[in-house]
Amino acid sequence: MATVSIPSKGIVLDQEREVTSALAAIGIDYECWSLDRVGVDADADAVLTAYAAEIDAMKAQGGYTTADVIDVNPETPGLDAMLAKFSTEHTHDEDEVRFIIAGRGIFHIHPLGGDVTAIEVEAGDMIRVPRGTRHWFDLCSDRRIRAIRWFQDKSGWTPHYTHSGIDSNFEPLCLGPAYLGPRVQTSL
């Protein structure tokens, strides 16, 4: 179950109906899916087979042509460089669609004219960030995530950086009780 935080308003949401509603209001699709189809450590082909119905439904709904399984952990070669590509505000030319099988991460969404909204995702969460949405992403402290991804065209999933700097105002810490809110700016 995802946790949603709007730091500027002091709001934290962790009930499915509230989370879904708050995310829909900023254009983010969110659903809780069953995790009992396959073991979290099953190989990628087994995962794709187990979720074939959902994968095909999403393809039909969003025009996605391919799906794969991404699996990163602290031992993944080049992990820091990989994470750095996505931890500052950017957009994509296609949707960013993920179903989390294991691990945790945090999306920050920067809606047009709206407050930055943090979404901590965990196993069982399906999230769709529409193309053009300003956002950034960090892993949680265990630096582990496994997810199904959908693509319209993988070449469209390159980041276009906004260079706004707004991401530096938010701690890349996961939400929950330890979340510290906006980072305190210093002159150092």
7 vs 105, beta carbon nearer Fe ion: 105
Q: Which is nearer to Fe ion, 12 or 166 (CB)?
A: 166
Stretch that binds Fe ion, among 47-55, 88-96, 111-119, 162-170 (CB under 5 A): 88-96
Query: With CB under 5 A, what is the number of residues at the site for Fe ion?
Result: 1
**Residue 90 beta carbon to Fe ion: minimum distance, rounded to whole angstroms:** 6
Q: In the chain, what is the straight-line distance between the N-terminal and C-terminal CA atoms, in Å? A: 38
**What track of x and - describes contact with Fe ion for positions 89 through 108 (by CB under 5 A)?**
-------x------------
* Alpha carbons 56 and 162: distance in angstroms, whole number: 33
Query: Which CB sits closer to Fe ion, 96 or 138?
Result: 96
| Binding footprint of Fe ion on the chain (CB under 5 A) | 96
